[in-house]
Amino acid sequence: MKILVAISNVPDTTTKIQFSDNNTKFNAAGVTFIINPYDEWYALVRALELKEANLAEKVTLIHVGLPDGDATIRKGLALGADDAVRIDAEGPDSFFVADQIAAYAKEKGYELILTGKETINYNGSSVAGMIAGVLDYPLISLATKLDIAGGKLTAEHDVDGGSRVVECELPAVISCAKGMAEQRIPNMRGIMAARTKPLEVVKPINSPEVSGPLTSVKSFDLNPGRTSCKMLGEDQMDELVKLLHTEAKVI
10 in helix, strand or coil? Answer: strand
Strands 162-169 vs 172-176: parallel, antiparallel or unpaired:
unpaired
Q: Which amino acid is at 110?
A: Y
Cβ–Cβ < 8 Å for 180, 48? no
The answer to whether position 243 is within a domain reads no
The answer to whether position 245 is within a domain reads no
Query: How many domains is the chain partitioned into structurally?
Result: 1
Neighbours of 186 (CB within 10 A): 17
Q: CA nearest 52: which of 85, 3, 101? A: 3
What's the half-sphere exposure (Cβ side, CA atoms, 13 Å) at 214? 11
The answer to whether position 240 is within a domain reads no
| Mean pLDDT value of segment 107-113 | 96
The answer to whether position 13 is within a domain reads yes
Statement: residue 216 has pLDDT above 90: no
The answer to whether position 227 is within a domain reads no
> 107: pLDDT confidence band, cut at 50, 70 and 90?
very high
Statement: residue 46 has pLDDT above 60: yes
Report the pLDDT value the prediction gives residue 248, as an integer from 0 to 100: 80
> How far apart are the C-alpha atoms of 194 and 208, rounded to whole Å?
36
DSSP state of 68: G
Statement: residue 116 has pLDDT above 70: yes
Q: Which CATH number is 108's domain given? A: 3.40.50.620
The answer to whether position 185 is within a domain reads yes
The answer to whether position 151 is within a domain reads yes
B/e letters for 79-104, b = 16+ CB within 10 Å, e = fewer, are bbbbebbbbebebebbbbbbbbbbbb
Report the pLDDT value the prediction gives residue 250, as an integer from 0 to 100: 63
Q: What's the whole-number average pLDDT of the chain?
A: 91
Cβ–Cβ < 8 Å for 9, 35? yes
The answer to whether position 242 is within a domain reads no
What is the per-residue pLDDT across 139-193, written as a single tens digit (0 to 9) for each?
Answer: 999 999 999 998 899 999 988 888 999 999 999 999 999 999 999 998 999 999 9
> How far apart are the C-alpha atoms of 6 and 103, rounded to whole Å?
13
> How far apart are the C-alpha atoms of 43 and 29, rounded to whole Å?
29
Q: By residue range, what is the domain housing residue 35?
A: 2-220
What is the per-residue pLDDT across 84-93, written as a single tens digit (0 to 9) for each?
Answer: 999 999 888 8
Statement: residue 251 has pLDDT above 60: no
